[in-house]
Amino acid sequence: MTDIPYAKAFAKLLKQQYHVDTVFGLVGIPVVTFANDLIAEGIRFVACRNEQSASYAASAYGYLTNKPAVLLVVGGPGLIHALAGMYNSVSNKWPLVVIAGSNDNGPHQYQGTFQEMDQISLLGEYLKFKGKLNERNLDLVTFNAFNSAVQGSQGVSYIDFPGDLIEGGAVVPITQELRTSLPPQHVRSGPDPTATDTVAGIVADALAQDQNVLVVIGKGAVHSHAAVRQFIQQFNLPFLPTPMAKGVVPDSHPMNVSGARSLALKKADVVLVLGARLNWILHFGEPPKWKEGVVFVQCDSDPSALGVNNAGNLHLSLLGDMTLSLEQLTHSLEKKLQKRKSDIPCTLPNDIQDKIRSNSARMTKLEETTNAAGELNYHTVYRTLRSLRDDSRTLLVMEGANTMDKARVSFPTDYPLRRLDCGTNATMGVGLGYAMAATLAEPSLDTVLIQGDSAFGFSGMEIETLVRMRLGCVIVVMNNSGIYHGNQPESSTKLSERCRYDIVARGLGAEGHLVTNLEELQRAFTDAVEAARSKHTVTLLNVIIEHGKGSSVSFAWQNKGKASKL
């Protein structure tokens, strides 16, 4: 009987049975041998400069590909650094399998061996699965990890890989090597038909009584975009996408209420919440942002999300696969509408349309306004970039505070899976890792990262990774010399004045350009996109904008007393 080294058998298993094509990580003892085995099997290993960035890249790759991404790190401090991306995937419900080296089970265990840590206990109950490899359980642990990451609500699994299995001569008999089968597939199930019928009746009654029905689309519905589009198209219901769900239904659709968000929330009587949570992003479903007594119907594959900030309507929840839920709801709603002779709305209410027009006019004015010094600002820059990008082939990554918030409303899209931002946690540091993931997952698209100068500082060294891996993309740094704003020299928000991030980029092998006016921006961005397409070039545009105004920093999402401009 022929034996093969354990690490090589694991690499073969990942490639041949689980169809792993890419692994993100940062190597060291003992996992460097395993990383080389992965490469030998034809798996692309993306060696990052920091485990945090690698973990964010893997996190986003799992989301974009809708299958478990794989992250490989060393144990101890390497795993600690990777917790950022693991938490990111847990909170956003994205599929991820993390493999970390660990101290072996030899005679010096508990004596302070190299990077010794009880990593299984450290991760507690936060992950969907945790398993430690031994000489007999490679198949079992690997299956459980990948299966757990995709079943029900997607999430994170962890595989502990002891060093003695990599470096101690452990082998796997060739008869145990592989079973020929597909990787675990998500098992789909639909909602309770009784609940679906009840919800259909509520929606039909609301329409018959000229009440306002609103569909909120979350990023949890992105991979069911065809079903969501069909549902909106068939019943012509007003809809509001959350930031990363933009494009699930085209932003150009006439029933999109994004341009009158606050008014639409305030007027809604019945709200179908598709793959979104009633958390801070949706103001916890509470007044004054929402109407008193509004009925929320939550549609989700995660039972733990149901009833949160919505206890009174828990019985209306539709638990199940989003596509199956919408198919069942469509079938039932068709019958209810026909029976009640309810009218499907033709257009948005007049006051919503008026608000959309007034907000659009206000935005146009902002995009044409500069300060007395004629400096660039977010709005003038975004107007120019919006006119230059090709929406049909652009995947936009946004990171920062003001940078991201303003970009969310400045770049509409008609295509799903074209937006990545800081997500549920509003996490800073994700930008360059996400850009890596976007370029790898969608090589035919133009990856454009727009980030603040503060955000760039979290992971700027990953430009070298992008260059080395030939992951052509465009990085636009909105440089206002501060966090939020840079107008107070003695403030904790102040950063170095007009820091030359373009020179940093050139030092790391990328193209770098300093941009101070719209003519330079137009020329540099156009050239950068073409270079990324034709030569896989990474280009950073260091766009100097006005400092901004304000003496204090506040969190607009939680400011209940102040009316939103949108």
The band of 555, judged by pLDDT with boundaries at 50, 70 and 90, is low
Q: Is residue 515 part of a domain?
A: yes
> Does any domain span residue 523?
yes
Query: Which residue pairs, CB below 8 angstroms and at least 24 apart, start in 237-241?
Result: 237/213, 237/272, 237/345, 238/212, 238/213, 238/214, 238/264, 238/345, 238/348, 238/352, 239/214, 239/215, 240/214, 240/215, 240/216, 240/264, 240/265, 241/216, 241/217
Strands across the sheet containing 44-47: 44-47, 22-25, 69-73, 96-102, 156-162, 129-132
| 543 contacts 521 by C-beta, under 8 angstroms | yes
Q: Tell me, what's the pLDDT at 55?
A: 98
Asked if 200 and 239 sit in the same domain, the reply is yes
Instruction: Check whether residue 172 and residue 197 sit in a common domain.
Output: no
Q: Does residue 471 sit within a domain? A: yes
Q: Which of 347, 381, 411 is the last residue in one of the domains? A: 347
Inside any domain, residue 357: no
For 515-521, which contacts have Cβ atoms below 8 Å and span 24 or more sequence positions?
515/376, 515/541, 515/542, 515/543, 515/544, 516/376, 516/544, 517/376, 518/376, 518/380, 518/381, 518/384, 521/376, 521/381, 521/384, 521/385
What DSSP state is assigned to residue 69?
E
pTM of the entire structure? 0.94
> pLDDT confidence of 548, banded at 50, 70, 90?
confident
pLDDT at position 566 is 37
Q: Is residue 186 part of a domain?
A: no
pLDDT band at 110 (very low <50, low <70, confident <90, very high): confident
Cβ partners under 8 Å of residue 107, min gap 6: none
With H, G, I as helix, E, B as strand and everything else as coil, classify residue 189: coil
Q: How far is CA 332 from CA 281, 301, 324, 344, in A?
A: 30, 20, 12, 15
Structural domain includes residue 354: no
One domain for residues 210 and 141 = no
- Report CA torsion sign: 538, 541, 547, 549: negative
CATH number, residue 307: 3.40.50.1220
Percent of residues, the chain, with pLDDT higher than 90: 81
Instruction: Give the rounded distance of the alpha carbon of 128 from its chain centre.
Output: 19
Print the domain residue range for 532: 368-544
Cα separation, 398 vs 419, whole angstroms: 8
- DSSP line for 374-392: --B-HHHHHHHHHHHS-GG
**Kind of pairing between the strands at 318-319 and 295-300:** parallel
Average pLDDT score over residue span 243-272: 97
40 and 138 inside one domain: yes
**Residue 227 sits in the same domain as residue 322:** yes
**Per-residue pLDDT, 344:** 78
Under the banding of pLDDT at 50, 70 and 90, the label for residue 341 is: low
DSSP state of 59: H
Asked if the model's pLDDT at residue 12 lies above 90, the reply is: yes
User: pLDDT, tens digit, for every residue of 315-337?
Assistant: 999 999 999 999 999 999 999 99
Cβ contact 370:380 at 8 Å: yes
- What the block records as the tokens of 437 is 């993931």
Q: Is residue 395 part of a domain?
A: yes
What is the domain count for the chain?
Answer: 3
CA distance 469 to 464: 8
pLDDT recorded at residue 1:
56
Say if residue 385 is in the same domain as residue 450.
Answer: yes
Q: How far apart are CA 248 and CA 264, in angstroms?
A: 19
Three-state SS at 504: helix
Per-residue pLDDT, averaged over 520-537, amounts to 99
DSSP-based three-state secondary structure for 473:
strand
pLDDT digits (tens, 9 = 90+) for 467-519: 999 999 999 999 998 887 777 777 888 888 899 999 999 999 999 999 999 99
As given in the structure block, the two tokens for residue 458 are 């979290």
Distance, CA of 360 to CA of 203 (rounded, Å)? 30
Comparing 302 with 371, the larger pLDDT belongs to 302
Q: Looking at the structure, do residues 154 and 206 belong to the same domain, yes or no?
A: no
Whether residue 111 has pLDDT greater than 80: no
List the beta strands (DSSP E) in 154-223.
156-162, 171-173, 213-217
Alpha-carbon distance values, 107 to 100, 164, 245, 565 (Å): 21, 12, 52, 65
Output the pLDDT for position 561. Answer: 47
* Predicted local confidence at residue 34, as pLDDT: 97
42 and 94 belong to one structural domain: yes
Question: What CA–CA distance (Å, rounded) separates 482 from 461?
Answer: 19
pLDDT value for 372: 80
Chain segment 212-234, per-residue pLDDT in tens = 999 999 999 999 999 999 999 99
If residue 463 lies in a helix (H) or strand (E), which one and from where to where?
helix 462-468
Last residue of a domain, one of 127, 144, 176: 176
Kindly tell me the burial class for residue 393, based on how many C-beta atoms sit within 10 Å of its own C-beta (0-12, 13-18, 19 or more): middle
Give the confidence band of 108 by pLDDT, cuts at 50, 70, 90.
Answer: confident
539 sits in the region (left: phi over 0; alpha: psi -120 to 50; else beta) called: beta
My answer on whether 312 and 408 are in the same domain is no
Task: Please write the tens of the pLDDT for every residue from 157-216.
Answer: 999 999 999 988 889 887 544 554 678 989 999 999 999 999 999 999 999 999 999 999
- Count the helix, strand and coil residues of the chain and give each as a percent rounded to the nearest 5: 45, 15, 40
Q: Is the dihedral of CA 248, 253, 256, 260 positive or negative?
A: positive
Say which amino acid occupies 329. L
pLDDT for 113 equals: 79
My answer on whether 387 and 485 are in the same domain is yes
CB atoms within 10 A of CB 251: 17
Mean pLDDT for the chain?
93
Residues 380 and 489 both lie in one domain: yes
* Claim to verify: residue 378 and residue 494 sit in the same structural domain: yes
The domain that contains 159 carries what CATH number? 3.40.50.970
Strands (DSSP E) found in 191-230: 213-217
Residue range 410-448, pLDDT digits in tens: 999 999 999 999 988 989 999 999 999 999 999 999 999
Element (DSSP H or E) covering residue 23:
strand 22-25
Residue 336, in any domain of the structure: yes
Final residue belonging to a domain, choices 122, 146, 176: 176
